[in-house]
């Protein structure tokens, strides 16, 4: 008898993966994969949405913008989220994807507190990240060499920063860190470091936020493009979304989410923007 039970247990374990696979096939399932920056917002919105629509089933996963775009293009998921325009990614046919910008997030250069620099021009920033300026003295700070902490190649934050600040020039080969939190910690503790993080992470007394051309990094400077360093958070679907997906995207774009949830996470509502920017970084005023 005991032996028999063991055998059954073994069979059960062998079959378990298939049983579990069967479980996941349920009704109105929306899988959302991609940008880790957008993940908390979509997760929260998904939970709220589920409470109102109990038949919905929204699964949110990270994985990065590249993953999001390639998965949605392959049709493996309903929605791919990304910090970058699909047009800028090689291997992605943006024409087949439907773009829904759902929020805007600012990016701010940060430096170690002791460098003595609080403001830089775009030219200076560009020279620092391309390795032309190597000492904080050259930009009015202490005599201390500059240590550039870059973001992971291909990450949304880095693409945005390089497009808008370096304008196509190649960044100096340097340390790369993946997450906003780690970057903040390193800049806080390592003398002479400079990097950039997204706004929601920047409210910290231990790091020096750097203003660009004396414009303060503030959410209220973004809608007019006065603070130029910002990016959209996109939700992409392959072609026209199905009914359930369309309903959820509509919910994310609704006033309820855009007014309460989006600012709470530190992002800017897409409805507040007074300008738009296309994938070639051309800025146009809304209404013109």
Partner 1 sequence: MAKKEQDLQQVVEDALAEQKVPHVKFKGIDPRNIDVDRLTKPSKETRQERWGKGLTFLAIILIGVLIVAIIGFVGMHGLATFIDNKVNVFHFLFSTDWNPGAGKNHVGAAAMIVTSFAVTLLAAIIATPFSIAVALFMTEYVSGKRVQILQSFMELLVGIPSVVYGFIGLMVVVPAVRAVFGGTGFGILTATLILFVMVLPTITSLTVDAFKAIPKELRKSSAALGATKWQTIYHVVLRAARSRIMTAIIFGMARAFGEALAVQMAIGNAVLMPYNLVSPAATLTSQLTSQMGNTVMGTLPNNALWSLALLLLIMSLVFNFLVHLIGKKG
Binding residues for partner 1, rule: CB under 8 A, are 3, 7, 10-11, 14, 36, 62-67, 69-71, 74, 89-92, 147, 152-155, 170, 173-178, 182, 185-186, 189-190, 193
Among residues 152 and 254, whose Cβ is nearest to partner 1?
152
**Closest C-alpha among 187, 106, 188, 116 to residue 148:** 187
> Strands 175-177 and 283-285, how do they pair?
unpaired
Distance CA 155, CA 104 (A): 16
Asked if residue 135 lies in contact with residue 124, where contact means CB atoms within 8 angstroms, the answer is no
Instruction: Count CB neighbours of 226 within 10 A.
Output: 14
> Strands 268-269 and 97-112, how do they pair?
antiparallel
Least distance from C-beta 234 to partner 1, angstroms? Answer: 14
Among residues 170 and 278, whose Cβ is nearest to partner 1?
170
Among residues 63 and 263, whose Cβ is nearest to partner 1?
63
Among residues 68 and 217, whose Cβ is nearest to partner 1?
68
Least distance from C-beta 155 to partner 1, angstroms? Answer: 5
Would you call 252 exposed, middle or buried from its count of C-beta atoms within 10 A (0-12, 13-18, 19+)?
buried
Number of H helices, E strands in the chain: 9, 14
Least distance from C-beta 125 to partner 1, angstroms? Answer: 20
Q: What are phi and psi of 111, to 5 degrees?
A: -135, 165
Least distance from C-beta 110 to partner 1, angstroms? Answer: 15
Among residues 28 and 176, whose Cβ is nearest to partner 1?
176
Least distance from C-beta 130 to partner 1, angstroms? Answer: 14
């Amino acid at each position: 008898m005991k032996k028999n039970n063991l055998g059954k247990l073994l069979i059960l374990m062998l079959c378990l993966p298939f049983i579990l696979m069967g479980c996941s096939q349920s009704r109105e399932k929306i899988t959302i994969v991609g940008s880790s920056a957008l993940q908390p917002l979509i997760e929260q919105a998904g939970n709220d949405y589920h409470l109102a629509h109990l038949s919905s089933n929204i699964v949110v996963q990270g994985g990065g913008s590249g993953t999001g775009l390639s998965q949605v293009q392959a049709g493996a998921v309903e929605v791919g989220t990304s910090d970058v325009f699909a047009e800028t990614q090689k291997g992605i046919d943006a024409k087949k994807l439907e773009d829904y910008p759902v929020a805007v997030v600012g990016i701010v250069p940060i430096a170690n507190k002791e460098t003595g620099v609080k403001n830089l021009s775009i030219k200076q920033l560009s020279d620092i990240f391309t390795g032309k300026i190597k000492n904080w003295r050259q930009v009015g700070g202490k005599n201390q060499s500059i240590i550039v902490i870059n973001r992971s190649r291909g990450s949304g934050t880095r693409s945005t920063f390089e497009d808008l600040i370096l304008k196509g020039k190649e960044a100096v080969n340097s340390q790369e860190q993946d997450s906003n939190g780690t970057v903040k910690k390193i800049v806080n503790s390592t003398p002479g470091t400079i990097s950039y993080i997204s706004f929601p992470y920047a409210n910290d007394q231990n790091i020096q936020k750097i203003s660009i051309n004396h414009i303060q990094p503030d959410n209220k400077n973004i809608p007019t493009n006065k603070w130029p360093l910002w990016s959209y958070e996109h939700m992409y679907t392959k072609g026209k979304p199905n009914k359930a997906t369309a309903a959820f995207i509509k919910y994310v774009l609704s006033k309820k989410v855009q007014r309460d949830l989006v600012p709470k996470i530190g992002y800017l509502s897409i409805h507040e923007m007074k300008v738009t920017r296309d994938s070639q970084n051309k800025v146009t005023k809304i209404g013109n």
